[in-house]
Amino acid sequence: MKKGLVYVLFAVPVVTQLYPLVWLLFYSLKTNEEIMDGSFFSLPKVWQWHNYKEAFESGNYLKYLSNSVLVTGITMICVIVLSSMVAYAITRFRWRYGTAVMTIFLMGMMIPMQATLLPLMIIFKHLHILNTHLSLILPYIAFSTPISVFILSGFMKGIPHEIEESAFIDGASVYRIFRSIIMPVSVPPMMTVCILTFISIWNEYILAATFISSERLKTLPFGIYTFVSQYSVNYGDIGAFLIMGALPVILIYFFLSNQITKGMVAGAVKG
């Protein structure tokens, strides 16, 4: 009885999480007529695989994908470097304002992204970086760094100080210790930070729609507008484009999900 109840409890989140993906897959393989008739649970009468070809070619998938990869890749590198340095300084150095700095970063997790749109728009306009990838990368770094510092600092607190003391005795500098000891040891939480950062900004739309107006600079979420015209909407192509846009996130999470768990558990236990 208890085992059956456990299976039911686990089945509910699995079904609720997987069903939207399965539904979207079927949605992407239907015609407009099948989609509009309201049969949400029905299989496609004829599998419309050409929707994916149309989504790839007409939706400029490669162009939008390359923009998203560029913005996401630069953001992830900057977040890892900055957050690891901040976490190292806060947790491994004995200085008066360490707790205050950590509190400031934790407060940064409470600021909603929408509240910064107008100030950032004005600042970027004066800096002449509006409608550039830099206008996306800077806010993404700012919003991703607080949670990254929180995760990494929780892990670095548990690293034995004897390791650093031995390195100091051998003549290693602070930078050498950070590069050769702390960074390799902190790989699990860093992988967690990379994956969480990737997932949070890959499909981000609000900032991209506010700061980017040039067609050649737009990221993946804008591709769906290619299939929306004044008099018609290609729903099947939109579904196919959404599947292709979500595929990198699904694959990365599927293959690296163990790294997320290890990083979270390591930070929780050693913190």
Structural domain contains residue 20: no
pLDDT of res. 173: 85
Q: What are phi and psi of 216, to 5 degrees?
A: -75, -10
d(CA 107, CA 88): 19
Structural domain contains residue 88: yes
* Mean pLDDT taken over the chain: 84
Structural domain contains residue 30: no
Question: Is 90 exceeded by the pLDDT of residue 157?
Answer: no
Across 10-14, 65-69, 185-189, 219-223, least confident range: 10-14
Partners of 233 in beta bridges: 228
How confident is the model over 170-193, as a mean pLDDT?
A: 86
Residues contacting residue 45 through CB under 8 Å, at least 6 positions apart: 34
Reported as a pLDDT band with limits 50, 70 and 90, residue 263 is: low
228 in helix, strand or coil? Answer: strand
Structural domain contains residue 16: no
Structural domain contains residue 213: yes
Structural domain contains residue 25: no
- The answer to whether 222 and 208 have CB atoms below 8 angstroms apart is yes
pLDDT of res. 84: 93
Whole-prediction pTM: 0.84
Structural domain contains residue 79: yes
For residue 234, the enclosing domain spans 62-269
Q: For the domain that residue 249 is a member of, what is the CATH number?
A: 1.10.3720.10
Tokens, residue 80: 């890892």
Domain count, the chain: 1
Structural domain contains residue 56: no
Question: Is 80 exceeded by the pLDDT of residue 268?
Answer: no
pLDDT of res. 119: 92
The size of the chain, in residues, is: 271
Sign of CA pseudo-dihedral 44, 248, 245, 11? positive
Question: Is 90 exceeded by the pLDDT of residue 260?
Answer: no
Using CA atoms, how far residue 221 sits from 10, 69, 115, 240, 266, in Å, is: 32, 12, 21, 13, 34
Question: Is 80 exceeded by the pLDDT of residue 185?
Answer: yes
Reported as a pLDDT band with limits 50, 70 and 90, residue 110 is: confident
pLDDT of res. 59: 84
pLDDT of res. 189: 87
